[in-house]
Structure 1
């Protein structure tokens, strides 16, 4: 940096904050470190007693924080998001639509490990809404080596660290099981819960069936919904290990790919996920989904609606953070539930 006369400072970059003190009114930085001085700023600078200024000198191979911030943003920004204006080396990313945030965590960690730059975000694999802040990025020093930014870019291999994947309008069928419901001994209180969950993501229940506990009846109902073109089938109830609970057997009779029967999540340990014909999800929901506010269904449904084909490993990773604390005031998804290692 070098010292110059304030009258000659237009176009130069400040190396430190300039504080303005007006008794009883303000004591704050009138210009921040990194500010590019304009002609109209000069009278203000003189009024706060700055006859001379320390400014940054452009050097070969050295980037100003705002220049580097644009590069960092470019590395992070994927589909369906936009950046805020750059300020003091900082840019935030804002969601342009509803969807699920996907993060390449390995790349984000690798960039953060370089030092002098940072990326902070909300958790991936969770829903975001249009207008949500999803990440903040910043260059730490006033200037940074261009070569270091090039190394950071190379770590991303040309692919953005963040993406927002939009929901798909899947044709959904719901099969409620249980002799007590089938024989009208009790009212079906499960299906309305599922309908409400689907509506959170703009999805309507297009087909509905009630079945006894006989696995062949449930199997037949699943086949009929597939024949009608359902893109997703949800079976409720009959998911425990009791001899009378035969929904898992019915799902196994239909689906070629059984991803899991059981998951390290409470509520929702007896959850089942399978796929028919490669990409049509069939889910078996345990009874807790009916009465608990948030369960494994809330963790899985958004990702399924984004056409993500989940693997067993995706569910096994939910163990850390897989315990819902049933807080008196639920703040999900802005809590620890489902945020695994």
Structure 2
């Protein structure tokens, strides 16, 4: 049995020039390094998707412990120049017989390859509901455009339609008929999450003459994805988490389509192992006898009282100074927060700062001014989440100052639910299943809230972060706010200020 020295360049020249190895590793899109110390690295020469066969790689590595191949995970996106695999002969010498057997394994079946991205002309269809602000859809389009850049794809058109199957189907038919330079793809973002295979988006695909391949996937975040096709045009119903640039199941399906694959229901159903993508907030230490989570005792309440109250009229009274039971609404709301089990209370002021602060005189609450209040609610959220007390908080309860029906008991129920989740969940007030306010955001999302811009609240973070959401029904109080003079009077208030 002949022996070949691994450190000799000739050994690796022989390996890399064998037809079997060349065939196995699809060299059209790969570059081999020069052999050195028994190692040859393999690099991608294109932007694309690295695809590996675990069974082939395992067979190679079982020929002899001294002959090894390590590579990236299957279906990982790579850029031009990224290292994707490395061959290594560990000892100083290996037998020629073993080397031949290793080459036979690679000659029989492809071990790995890089499939290059191919640009597509992408149509975006976004459905609309009154609860979804246009700014959210605007941001969705920007995030999608950035996602497509690396593949050379372009967002060529956008349509916004009502959240009903018929108008969505018509938009799908229209996008399918449009002339495009590159192969088409259609991406749908629903204003409401897909519940089942009969929901708006899958039904619209069928009405447009297409077929639904899969509803749902075992990747989290990304569970609520819909995959279909109209003729040879792939259609993705994106889950809400795809509004965020963070990796999610949408990326796994999108990347496969962009390299020419056609993901099947069987393939998607096999994505569960490795499909948990969300960050785990509490990891057990090997030195601890058992995993422990913090008790989440520190919940800061941030009361938002900075808005201009435009719907009260240009020179009308300020809604937060309207009196309920003889008490200004803003003072009443802050007293409600103080009376709860919150660790501390911070009030964000803006419009008519001096009047608001005067109404809060003597209360055990800190006020912080948002000079940029006119830009929208995002700046007020950022101001509240930036205070020193937020550094030690396990969660922040966001309360709107114009909700007279919310009680200290309501807040305590939200806080209790947050503590039961060990500070790992979003807690949201609802009424009969309809989302409302207040909301508790866990510490893991503070940075995302502080990055919000414009007149955009935290709703899209709640829907796309992948963090569990626990809904607590507090009755009609979850929806009762007073944005107009008529609403103030109807709620039992007296206009003042």
- TM above 0.5, one fold? yes
- Aligned counterpart in structure 2 of residue 273 of structure 1, from 183, 207, 227: 227
Q: Which has the higher helix share?
A: 2
Match of residue 152 from structure 1: 102
The answer on 1:98 being equivalent to 2:47 is yes
**1:321 deviation in Å?**
2.0
Asked if the contact 1:95/1:164 (under 8 Å) is kept, the reply is: yes
Secondary structure (helix, strand or coil) at the match of 2:163 reads: coil
Say if 1:97 and 1:243 are closer, same or farther in 2 by CA, change over 3 A: closer
The answer on 1:61 being equivalent to 2:9 is no
Secondary structure (helix, strand or coil) at the match of 1:120 reads: strand
Residue ranges of structure 1 left out of the alignment (5+ in a row): 1-59, 331-341
**1:104 deviation in Å?**
2.1
Which residues in structure 2 correspond to 1:100-115 (within 5 Å)? 100-115=49-64
Which residues in structure 2 correspond to 1:12-51 (within 5 Å)? none
After superposition, give the CA deviation of every residue in 1:300-326 in whole Å (9 maximum; x if it has no partner).
212111011111232222212222234
Asked if the contact 1:239/1:271 (under 8 Å) is kept, the reply is: no
**1:210 deviation in Å?**
0.8
Secondary structure (helix, strand or coil) at the match of 2:266 reads: helix
**1:158 deviation in Å?**
4.8
- Aligned counterpart in structure 2 of residue 261 of structure 1, from 207, 215, 222: 215
Which residues in structure 2 correspond to 1:272-311 (within 5 Å)? 272-277=226-231, 279-291=232-244, 293-311=246-264
Residue ranges of structure 2 left out of the alignment (5+ in a row): 281-443, 449-497
- Structure 2 distance, partners of 1:71, 1:259, is 46
**1:186 deviation in Å?**
7.3
The answer on 1:322 being equivalent to 2:271 is no
Match of residue 33 from structure 1: none
Match of residue 67 from structure 2: 117
- Structure 1 distance, partners of 2:197, 2:273, is 31
Match of residue 15 from structure 1: none
- Structure 2 distance, partners of 1:316, 1:114, is 32
Match of residue 84 from structure 1: 33
- Structure 1 distance, partners of 2:229, 2:277, is 27
Bigger Cα displacement from structure 2, 66-75 vs 205-214: 66-75
- Structure 2 distance, partners of 1:96, 1:131, is 6
- Structure 2 distance, partners of 1:242, 1:158, is 43
- Structure 1 distance, partners of 2:112, 2:251, is 22
Secondary structure (helix, strand or coil) at the match of 2:159 reads: strand
**Paired positions, count:** 271
- Structure 1 distance, partners of 2:136, 2:82, is 42
Match of residue 174 from structure 1: 124
Asked if the contact 1:266/1:322 (under 8 Å) is kept, the reply is: yes
Say if 1:243 and 1:276 are closer, same or farther in 2 by CA, change over 3 A: closer
- Aligned counterpart in structure 1 of residue 204 of structure 2, from 239, 250, 254: 250
- Structure 2 distance, partners of 1:86, 1:69, is 6
Say if 1:256 and 1:218 are closer, same or farther in 2 by CA, change over 3 A: closer
Say if 1:71 and 1:310 are closer, same or farther in 2 by CA, change over 3 A: farther
